[in-house]
Every structure is written in C-alpha cells, then in structure tokens.
Amino acid sequence: ANLLDFSDGSFIVQTIHSVSFPRLAVIFLHGQSFNSKKWEELGTLALLSENGYRAIAIDLPGENKLQGETALPIFLGYILSGRVAFLQQVFKELGLQQPVLISSSMSGRYSIPFLLASGEQLKGFVPIAPVGTKDFTTQQYQQVKIPTLIIYGERDTGLGTQSLQSLQQIPKSRVVMLLGAGHACYLDKPQEFHKALLNFLGELK
C-alpha cells in the first residue's frame, strides 16, 4: 500500500504494479465495512494490471481501516461539495486524466455527486448498486454523457433495483445483472463481474 498525504490528513492508496503504458486508469471505491484492500484480495487490481490497465483502489475518508484511524476529516463524507472536491484532489494527486470510476454501495455518496458535477473528467463509470441515486433528478442523469456500465445482483432487491431506476436514465448506459448474486455482487460472482468489467473497459476509446 502506498500512503498519499494531503494537507488535511492522509489516506491509503492500495495499488498493484502499474504498467508502463496503461490503456486506461481505473480507480475503485469501496463499499461500507470494506476498504481498498478488498479489491486487491478479490484479484481485481492484479487482473486489470495484467490486462494493461493502471488499477488503483483508495480508502474513503473515515474508512481507513488499514491505519486504524480516521483519515481525512470525516465531515468530508457528509458535505456534497466536499465529496466532489475529495475525488478531484485524489485524481490530481495521482495524476489521473479521465479515469474509469468503479463505485460500489456506500461510495455512491462520492461517485454520484462527482458524476453529475464533473462527469467530463471520467472516461467511463461503473456503479455497483450505489447509495444516493434518488437524491438527484431524471434530468440530471439524462445529461451524463459518458459510457456507464450498471452492475447489480439478481437478489439485491433493495439498492440494486432502486439505483437501477435512476441510473438507467443515463443515455450511454447498459445493464449487467449478475444471476444469483446479492448486494455485494462482485464478491458473490467475481468471475462474472470481472468479465463484464473487462468487456466494458475494452470498448472504451
């Protein structure tokens, strides 16, 4: 894990060896009760690196389980503008230009506001049953211009189907439902998740 220091705190960046000339940068946000380490344990970061992508997973503010302490001030997690600014700062610090953003569950508090405010800074978006989708309007989603892959589990009748109703308003969106999977569908069906993700990334220009 690499520690990235900010002026107002620090957070863990968990990353697998980057390739010399990456096809794209892909940044992963974690769900509640997890941290960036989960994407490494799942083999996702290594798989993407093997396929030529720069794969990075970060800890969200207040979720820094690796250090055992709160990273950035936790209020950033509750102020919408602060969440957008946090991701913008992460992209700047890591030198990311138009990465693909992968966001599961609780991290929707960060990714959805960022998508609607600064979506042009992304090459693509992969929401996995994120929270907070109902806080915004159909018109806002219809203005999103980037390719979006919506992934959710068949058995996730809560956030999965709820977020789908909002996210499918994005014009360039497609949906992958992982059969037999629950809310953390990428953990229940990792092979199917990885296949869908790699197919989507391979189509981005």
Catalytic residue among 105, 107, 111, 166: 105
Question: Coil, helix or strand for 61?
Answer: coil
Residue 74 is predicted with a pLDDT of 43
With beta carbons less than 8 A apart as the criterion, state whether 24 and 197 touch. no
Round to whole Å and give the CA distance between 131 and 125. 15
Q: What pTM, to 2 d.p., does this model score?
A: 0.88
- Average pLDDT value for residue range 77-104: 86
Per-residue pLDDT tens over the stretch 20-45: 777 899 999 987 666 778 898 999 99
The CATH number corresponding to 2-200 among 3.40.50.1820, 3.40.50.300, 3.30.1280.10, 3.20.20.60 equals 3.40.50.1820
Closest CA to 169 of 148, 192, 138: 138
Round to whole Å and give the CA distance between 40 and 134. 30
128 DSSP assignment: E
- Average pLDDT value for residue range 3-14: 61
Catalytic residue among 111, 173, 183, 188: 183
Per-residue pLDDT tens over the stretch 118-131: 999 999 999 999 99
Round to whole Å and give the CA distance between 168 and 158. 16
Per-residue pLDDT tens over the stretch 154-186: 999 999 999 999 999 999 999 999 999 999 999
Mean pLDDT of the chain: 86
Residue 9 is predicted with a pLDDT of 57
Per-residue pLDDT tens over the stretch 50-59: 999 999 998 8
**Bridge partner list, 148:** 125, 173
Q: Does residue 163 have an active-site annotation?
A: no
Which of the four pLDDT bands, split at 50, 70 and 90, describes residue 8?
low
Catalytic residue among 30, 49, 103, 156: 156
Q: Does residue 156 have an active-site annotation?
A: yes
Closest CA to 140 of 120, 121, 112: 112
Residue 65 is predicted with a pLDDT of 46
Q: Does residue 183 have an active-site annotation?
A: yes
